[in-house]
Amino acid sequence: LCNLSIEGGARMGMIAPDETTASYVKGRAFSPRGSAWDRAVEAWAQLHSDNEAEFDRDVRIDGADIAPTVTWGTSPEQALPVTANIPDPASEAHGNAQAVRDALDYMGLSAGRPIEGTPVDQVFVGSCTNGRIEDLRAAAAVLAGRKSKVPGLVSPGSSLVKAQAEQEGLDQVFIQAGLEWVASGCSMCVGMNGDLVAPGKRCASSTNRNFRGRQGPGALTHLMSPAMVAAAAVTGTITDVRPLLTGRTA
């Protein structure tokens, strides 16, 4: 969220640390210990908005009301709820219509059609952006006991995450589903080490960029959460993951 505030044009983005933050950090490999921990928590507690601060706008959003989001175009901003239809250039403001038209032409999509149900050729979960242990657990919750209809890679966000995932048996969930469990690294996020999406092939990816050629020349990238990528693997299409999580813990 902090990073994406800059993507949206802000000069700075910050979330005030709270008890949840401290609980997450405490005891990790490089976190402070003993009295240093107490001093750190005290210092972090000062990182908040001034009491008298005034904002142009306060926005409160209930996450439960947000449908899973997926990109349809060639920029992270070209995204929509999985329950929505692909935008129509004719309904866009004049300055944006051509950009929508160009993106749809490159992605091979038709305006006005539902984004859900769009077939994918392969999937990718990883790497640093959405390859944390929580992300791998969410994807595994969808894939457990199921088979992927398309090939794909799972690249943990770091070697520490990889080791933890293997201790928890998550690697076996992915392997048994038919996906490749690979080393941590950039991998298919930027088409490194030969991990590419072939020209004209469509990939459901949990990474953070979908620019033209990002995953390989002519690659068609749809960004989504790790759980959504897992849902695409199971169904072979862009799919709302929520029904697939019924009765499961993500």
171-210 tens-digit pLDDT:
999 999 999 999 998 999 998 888 999 999 999 999 989 9
Instruction: For 147-169, write each residue's pLDDT tens digit.
Output: 999 999 999 999 999 999 999 99
Task: Output the six-digit token pair for 171.
Answer: 């690697």
- Does residue 171 belong to any structural domain of this protein? yes
Q: Are residues 245 and 149 in the same domain?
A: yes
CA torsion sign for 186, 188, 191, 192 is positive
- pLDDT at residue 59 greater than cutoff 80: yes
Per-residue confidence (pLDDT) for residue 131, from 0 to 100 = 95
- Does residue 222 belong to any structural domain of this protein? yes
For the chain, how many structural domains are there in total? 2
pTM: 0.89
Task: Output the six-digit token pair for 200.
Answer: 């004209």
Peptide bond into 127 cis (omega under 30): yes
Q: Are residues 92 and 174 in the same domain?
A: yes
Peptide bond into 155 cis (omega under 30): no
Domain that holds residue 9: 2-44
Q: Are residues 226 and 127 in the same domain?
A: yes
Dihedral pair phi/psi, residue 248, rounded to 5°: -120, 160
The type of residue at 229 is V
Task: Output the six-digit token pair for 138.
Answer: 């969410």
Q: Are residues 233 and 130 in the same domain?
A: yes
- Does residue 52 belong to any structural domain of this protein? no
- Does residue 54 belong to any structural domain of this protein? no
Distance, in Å, from the CA atom of 146 to the CA atom of 46, rounded to the nearest integer, reads: 47
Q: Are residues 35 and 117 in the same domain?
A: no
- pLDDT at residue 93 greater than cutoff 80: no
- Does residue 234 belong to any structural domain of this protein? yes
Q: Are residues 33 and 137 in the same domain?
A: no
Kindly state the average pLDDT of the residues 105-129.
95
- pLDDT at residue 94 greater than cutoff 90: no
Instruction: Give residue 245's pLDDT band: very low, low, confident or very high (50, 70, 90).
Output: very high
Per-residue confidence (pLDDT) for residue 250, from 0 to 100 = 63
**Which one-letter DSSP state was computed for residue 8?**
T
Per-residue confidence (pLDDT) for residue 33, from 0 to 100 = 96
Q: Are residues 144 and 20 in the same domain?
A: no
Q: Are residues 114 and 188 in the same domain?
A: yes
